Amino acid sequence: MCDKIKQLTLIEAKQQFISSWGAFGTHWGINRTMAQIHALLMVSPDPLTQDDVMEQLDVSRGNVNMNMRDLISWGLVDRVILSGERKEYFTAEKDIWKVATQIIKERKKRELDPMLKLLAQLEDIEGDKKDKEVKQFVETISGIRKFGHNADQMLDMLVKADESWFLGGLLKIFK
């Protein structure tokens, strides 16, 4: 009836987190390995090399390299050069708020902004505005565009909240 929940060791907990973060990512259009690398770096106190990641996640060098590039382009991972070392090391931001704002910024730029541009264009079509089909279409598109526009502004606020005194206050409620 009442399941006894096993207290996990650090190793088990890390594995569990990495695996779940990977599965979670796939529901959001992020590939499993990329999400797993990110998870691994988030729970690693020290920077890791490509070889560390290859070994711990059991994936190939090429795979690690490509996904690491991607994570860097998303601003979620940084290259680190440890003085005296030849190898490159990698590290991830561990403050989840910074991670979230970074993801919001990028997805906005890559997806929301282009979509809003398209919707603006679709709203202005040829044809009789009295026609039922035309009317329904324009209304639906316009609704989506307005919604997107508001979301856009709201996300901007969130992202900029860190830098603004007024919004920063609001943010503390959330953070």
Partner DNA sequence: ATAAACTTTCAATATATTTTGAAAGTTCAA
Partner DNA sequence: TTGAACTTTCAAAATATATTGAAAGTTTAT
Q: Which residues bind DNA (CB under 7 A)?
A: 26, 31-34, 49-51, 58-63, 65-69, 85-88
Q: Are 98 and 129 in contact (CB under 8 A)?
A: no
**How many angstroms separate the CA atoms of 129 and 113, rounded?**
27
Q: Which window, 53-61, 63-71, 73-81, 118-126, contacts a second copy (CB under 8 A)? A: 118-126
C-beta of 88 vs 162, nearer to DNA: 88
Q: How many residues belong to the site for a second copy (CB under 8 A)? A: 50
Dmax over CA atoms of the chain, in Å, equals 73
Q: Cβ of residue 68: shortest distance to a second copy, in angstroms?
A: 19
Radius of gyration for the chain, computed over Cα atoms and rounded to the nearest angstrom? 22
Reported as type and span, the H/E element at residue 40 is helix 32-42
Burial status of residue 68 (CB atoms within 10 A of its CB: 0-12, 13-18, 19 or more): buried
C-beta of 57 vs 141, nearer to a second copy: 141
Which residue of 133, 163, 165, 166 would you call a contact of a second copy, by CB under 8 A?
A: 133
**How many angstroms separate the CA atoms of 36 and 26, rounded?**
10
Interface residues toward a second copy, by CB under 8 A: 5, 7-10, 13-14, 16-17, 20, 24, 26-29, 42-45, 94-97, 100, 107, 111, 115, 118, 121-122, 124-127, 131-134, 136-137, 139-141, 143-144, 147, 150, 154, 174-175
